[in-house]
Structure 1
Amino acid sequence: MTNVPARTEPTEPKESSNSNSGLLASIAKVGPTLFVLAVMGSGWLAVHQINTGAQPEEEESIVEVAAVPDSLTLPEGKVKAAKFESVPAQTQAMEHVHTIPGRIRYDETKHVDVKAPMDGILAEVLVTPGEHVQNGQLLAVLRSSEIGQARAEVLKRQKEHEIAQQMLQREVTLAKNLDQMSLMLDQGQPVDSIDNAMQNRALGAYRQDILSALSKMQLASELLSKIEPLANSGSVSGRTIRERQAERQIAETEFRTARDQATFAAKQAKINAEAKLSEADRQLNLAWQSVETLLGYKEDKAKVDLNNQEALSRLEIRAPFAGSVESRGFANNERVTRGESLIILANTDSLYVAANIRESDWSAVSLDQGTLVSVSVPALEDRVFEARIRYFGREVQADTNSVPLVATLKNSEGLLRPGMFVRVTIPIGKPREALSVKPESVVQHENQSFVFVDESGGTFKRVDVSTGQASDDWVELTNGLQPGQLVVTHGAFLLKSELLLQGESE
């Protein structure tokens, strides 16, 4: 049997099939990577196309800005219609300011809580909240036994004062009459004449003491004069003469002593009466002061009727100053105790503005008392009022690290009320001189500030400027202008529009 060699043709197709499978597998592995690369390439082409397309627009914009002219000339009719106004650039005192929040509050010197000075019955309340009262006007009537006792003490002291006055008047009269009698005694007038002359004049005990001593002295003189002629004849012994002479001398001594004692006693009595009157006067004044302390005002002593029993316990509460009634705490016939608030009275013609100066603004604390600050009130459409610094607090508040500022604010129109929120603008640092223009003169375009200089004849030139500090009235210019250049105020915005339109047309 012949062996036939095996055929090899069937093996070739098998190798070709394996080769194709491997290629597909390789493509499948690198396919995602190729896809990502393709997407990235497409994105780069798109961005490049956008950038390429935007470049001409930017170039056009640059061309437009560069095309805006620096000046323009308007026809005479348009200038007249626009009514342009120009102000020279000038040097002004500029200072840095800072605005801080604040509150309006009562003026402490014109805000009084009228309290009950003692226990009692509030018999009448004659005012209502919101009512305006005058200084000294009757607000309420309180009835109290305490004020009655104080007035009764005044009555007692008045009587004592009257008695002291009468005693002093008597002592003055006695001293005067004693001086008159002493003059008559010095003239050597007899007792009967002196007694008749002084009969209707008050002398008190001085009359008896002096005239009695005078009578004894005159009697001793008469007895001595009668026996002295008998001494030479021997009818009367020398001893009797000497006894009569001694009696005469003793009587004269007693008379002089009585006069001296009367004069001294009269002076002492007058001094004592004056001292008692002064003490009575002091006690009466103290009694009145006690009454006025309870009343809270000075009572008209000439008109008050202390003899009226009903008036003794009546206490009238009056307004210490002109103002408005803010509130009342009781109604008629209510019982009140000492210290309870009856009526709150305030004068709001002037108010306080309170704000806090923080650490960053402490240089403002060096401002002098009376310095003007501006106060803006949002509730009144940001109307601005002027206030004067009254004082800065001495103590730094630990929680806010600030000091309180209090300024006085006039409220003549009555628009401001305590508790209103305000904004207080205070100067920081010292003022300095700077070239300035009106705020409406400065306009902007493409983030560049500029002004229009009036060159006359309807020609206006744009001048770029740099600004510094600003206020409601002036804007500081740090660069671009010279003092004295005529700068447009009213109509600057219209010129800006005309300038831009002229640039577009070109």
Structure 2
Amino acid sequence: MKSNAYYSQILASLQPISIVLLIFIFLSIPTLVLAHGGHGNEFKQDESTRPSGAIQVDTETAKRLGIKVEPVTRKRLAIGIKTTGQIETLPNKKVEVTAPIPGKVVELLVQPGSFVKVGQPLAVLSAPELIEMRVNSQEKQAETAADLQKAETNLKLAIENRDRILKIADAEISQAQTQLAAAKAQYARDKALVDGEGVLKVARENYQRQIAIAEAEIAQANTELAVAQEQYNKDKELVDQGAMPRRQMLESQAHLQSAKAQVARAKNRPEVLQAETEIRRAEVDLPLRELRESEGKLAEAKAQLTKALSRREVLAAEAEVKRTQSDLDLAKSRLKLSNTTYQTRLQQLGTKADAKGLVTVTAPISGTVADREVTLGQSFQDAGGKLMTIQNDSRVYATANIYEKDLGKIEKGQRVNVRVANLPNQIFTGEITFIGSVVEGETRIVPVKAELDNSEGVLKPGTFAELEVLTNRAANAILAIPNEAIVEANGQKIVYVKNGNAFQSVEVKLGQISGDLVEVKTGLFENDLIVTQRAPQLYAESLRGGNVKGKSEAKDTGNSHTQSLIPNWLILTGGGIAMPAACFAIATVGTIAFWAGRRSHPRLLAVGNGEYKEFVYETEVYLDNNKQPNLSERAGVVEEGENYQEPH
């Protein structure tokens, strides 16, 4: 075999000729672009800034590479006030954890950067003060416990004595009540006999009532008698004159006799006679000796009951129970107070301590341990020594200053878009929660704070930020595209427009920015299909001058692709010119194929142990001082099982 140097010399001699022929062919082949009907000369741009022609990418490869295409539409952009500020922690979300008591740090339970939850143990301190207080508390508890036991015994005895005396008193009261009831009954009977006049009075009242009833009946009977007598007299006179039948007169006569009988019955009522008898019976005189004896027995029974109800022995026993109960309550209070000082001190510390006097310091809030100044074994002479700082950045403030002239445009609750320098392509959305109430004298500014969600923790307090307070929307819809669709190259803004399987770069002029949308003044038309994702990778590929193809297309070496590269001016009608032109074209294509094969031929790189690894020469492309990923034909033929990772 001939050496590599020999082949290199041959190739070096052919390289100038190949380059000349290659330049001639590229200048002859027209650019294949299926441009949108509305585009004119916007595709004809400075070839020195970016490559001419379109980048060919088939649908399958575009999908695998993550290229996203969207139509250009008109939108009403939100208009806002732009200002600068910084990210800050919420006031109540940053806490300095301090030592609650003088002592020594014997255990640290968290590391800087650790996430802790509220109430989670952070550190353990040994506190001599608490140890001494606990010993004193235990001594007092022992003394008061003995007093408490003695008081409980005395109370038990007093209650038993009171219950015994109470039973005796209850029996005496029951007996006295029985005797009093009997005396009252006897007295009532005797008094009833003595109070016979009362019975007489009742009898007389009954007699008078019966007399009144009888008199009323007599008066009524007399009235009826008079009416019957008058009727009879009239009927008799008419009968004597022959003007009335005798039968009717006889009826009047019978009615008259009935009225006379009714008057007689009213004058002789039996109730009146009975009332007269009762009066005579009540008028009999009764003796008073039995009544006096009954009064004496009744008074004696009342005295016995009063004595039994006084229960002096019971009262004394109850007083003894109350005294012993008071002693017991005092003993309980002293027992409670014996531990109160110790517990009060623990409450002041806001923590708990074990029997060894070890105090566990817990997290007051959930968050991340930002700083941990304390070291293991460090002692604190006074309370308040700083242990660590806990910071919760799940929500942060974006603070900025608004000029006085813009105060009328902002209010609480308005949406705010925020960008930070370390994440230029990401927009964070929040809303205004605080507007200062005082305008600073010289600067005429007012502080404003917007609260943002930072659950992912990417916003760091102290980071400079750009804020846009969205105050209104544009009156008319304008062409707007996502900021990700724009590629900045050599001071120009370009966008890739899709035409079939080709992507053509178009220079655009931009206007106002609203969030992640940018106004397009010139360069695009409505409904143009543009690349909104992976546009920088297409630009990098265009600088390499290659097309991104699928796996099967990359392996295809058929004549169709080669023939498409032959310019039309080589295919001439005429016998004398066609053949030389065809020969020239074939020679040219052969030269290109040779040179391309030379440039892309894999070379072997020794990696040790007699093994070689092939690699391909690739052009490194830098965009805005950042190296771009390689998306050449090798990226287009990713083997099955491989996953393309988007560069970050």
TM-score, L = length of structure 2? 0.42
Which of 393, 398, 402 is the matching residue for 1:353?
A: 398
Displacement of 1:467: 5.6
Say whether the 8 Å CA contact 1:139–1:317 is kept in structure 2.
Answer: yes
Query: Does residue 351 of structure 2 align to residue 293 of structure 1?
Result: no
Amino acid at match of 1:143: A
Output aligned runs, 1:393-472, within 5 Å: 393-398=436-441, 400-419=443-462, 421-432=463-474, 433-438=476-481, 468-471=511-514
Query: Does residue 190 of structure 2 align to residue 137 of structure 1?
Result: no
Tell me the alpha carbon deviations over residues 328-385 of structure 1, each in whole angstroms, 9 at most, x when there is no partner.
246525232133323322234444333333345545632516x342231x3x353535
Closer, same or farther: CA 318–258 of 1 in aligned 2, 3 Å: same
Amino acid at match of 1:115: T
Amino acid at match of 2:168: L
Displacement of 1:87: 4.7
Displacement of 1:207: 4.0
Distance in 2 separating the partners of 1:453 and 1:138:
58
Query: Does residue 108 of structure 2 align to residue 126 of structure 1?
Result: yes
Closer, same or farther: CA 94–143 of 1 in aligned 2, 3 Å: same
Distance in 2 separating the partners of 1:372 and 1:138:
37
Closer, same or farther: CA 405–127 of 1 in aligned 2, 3 Å: farther
Tell me the alpha carbon deviations over residues 230-261 of structure 1, each in whole angstroms, 9 at most, x when there is no partner.
xxxxxxx99998666534322223434549x9
Which of 218, 234, 237 is the matching residue for 2:175?
A: 218
Query: Does residue 379 of structure 2 align to residue 334 of structure 1?
Result: yes
Query: Does residue 120 of structure 2 align to residue 117 of structure 1?
Result: no
Displacement of 1:387: 4.6
Query: Does residue 469 of structure 2 align to residue 486 of structure 1?
Result: no
Say whether the 8 Å CA contact 1:443–1:449 is kept in structure 2.
Answer: yes
Say whether the 8 Å CA contact 2:100–2:349 is kept in structure 1.
Answer: yes
Which position in structure 2 is the counterpart of 1:504?
none
Distance in 2 separating the partners of 1:163 and 1:387:
69
Distance in 2 separating the partners of 1:207 and 1:442:
104
Which position in structure 1 is the counterpart of 2:305?
252
Output aligned runs, 1:62-461, within 5 Å: 70=41, 81=56, 87-118=70-101, 120-127=102-109, 130=112, 132=114, 133-134=116-117, 135-145=119-129, 149=133, 205=162, 207-209=164-166, 211-212=168-169, 214-215=171-172, 218=175, 245-258=298-311, 290-297=344-351, 299=352, 308=355, 310-311=356-357, 314-322=358-366, 323-324=368-369, 326-329=371-374, 332=377, 334-359=379-404, 361-362=406-407, 365-368=410-413, 371-376=415-420, 378=421, 380=422, 382=424, 384-389=426-431, 390-398=433-441, 400-419=443-462, 421-432=463-474, 433-438=476-481
Amino acid at match of 2:417: V
Amino acid at match of 2:302: Q
Say whether the 8 Å CA contact 1:140–1:318 is kept in structure 2.
Answer: no
Say whether the 8 Å CA contact 1:111–1:344 is kept in structure 2.
Answer: yes
SS at match of 2:438: coil
Amino acid at match of 2:124: A
Amino acid at match of 2:112: G
Closer, same or farther: CA 332–488 of 1 in aligned 2, 3 Å: closer
Amino acid at match of 2:106: E
Say whether the 8 Å CA contact 2:434–2:449 is kept in structure 1.
Answer: yes
Amino acid at match of 1:107: L
Which position in structure 1 is the counterpart of 2:7?
none
SS at match of 1:145: helix
Tell me the alpha carbon deviations over residues 460-486 of structure 1, each in whole angstroms, 9 at most, x when there is no partner.
9x9x9986423464333568988x543
Closer, same or farther: CA 364–443 of 1 in aligned 2, 3 Å: same
Amino acid at match of 2:389: I
Displacement of 1:130: 0.9
Displacement of 1:213: 5.7
SS at match of 1:328: coil
Displacement of 1:396: 3.0
Tell me the alpha carbon deviations over residues 269-308 of structure 1, each in whole angstroms, 9 at most, x when there is no partner.
7xx99xx79x9799899879734532324x5xxxx77xx5
SS at match of 1:423: strand
Unaligned runs of 5+ in 2: 1-38, 45-52, 63-67, 187-289, 544-648
SS at match of 2:477: strand
Amino acid at match of 1:474: L
Closer, same or farther: CA 456–209 of 1 in aligned 2, 3 Å: closer
Unaligned runs of 5+ in 1: 1-67, 175-199, 230-236, 498-506
Displacement of 1:430: 0.7
Using the TM superposition, name which of 464-473 and 97-106 deviates more: 464-473
Amino acid at match of 1:391: F
SS at match of 1:357: strand
Say whether the 8 Å CA contact 2:105–2:123 is kept in structure 1.
Answer: no
Structure 1 vs Structure 2 CA RMSD? 6.1
Displacement of 1:94: 0.7
Say whether the 8 Å CA contact 1:139–1:319 is kept in structure 2.
Answer: no
Say whether the 8 Å CA contact 1:114–1:344 is kept in structure 2.
Answer: yes
Say whether the 8 Å CA contact 1:454–1:487 is kept in structure 2.
Answer: yes
Closer, same or farther: CA 337–223 of 1 in aligned 2, 3 Å: closer
Distance in 1 separating the partners of 2:409 and 2:136:
58
Displacement of 1:150: 8.5
SS at match of 1:122: strand
Amino acid at match of 1:214: A
Say whether the 8 Å CA contact 1:161–1:284 is kept in structure 2.
Answer: no
SS at match of 1:366: coil
SS at match of 1:253: helix
Amino acid at match of 1:250: A
Displacement of 1:157: 9.7
Size of the aligned set, in residue pairs, is: 364
Which position in structure 2 is the counterpart of 1:28?
none
Distance in 2 separating the partners of 1:216 and 1:106:
82
Distance in 1 separating the partners of 2:376 and 2:141:
36
Say whether the 8 Å CA contact 1:71–1:459 is kept in structure 2.
Answer: no
Displacement of 1:159: 10
Closer, same or farther: CA 100–162 of 1 in aligned 2, 3 Å: farther
Closer, same or farther: CA 141–368 of 1 in aligned 2, 3 Å: same
Displacement of 1:456: 8.6
Amino acid at match of 1:113: E
Closer, same or farther: CA 291–448 of 1 in aligned 2, 3 Å: closer
SS at match of 1:103: strand
Q: Matched residues, percent identical?
A: 19
Closer, same or farther: CA 286–401 of 1 in aligned 2, 3 Å: farther
Closer, same or farther: CA 410–130 of 1 in aligned 2, 3 Å: farther
Amino acid at match of 2:162: A
Using the TM superposition, name which of 345-354 and 240-249 deviates more: 240-249
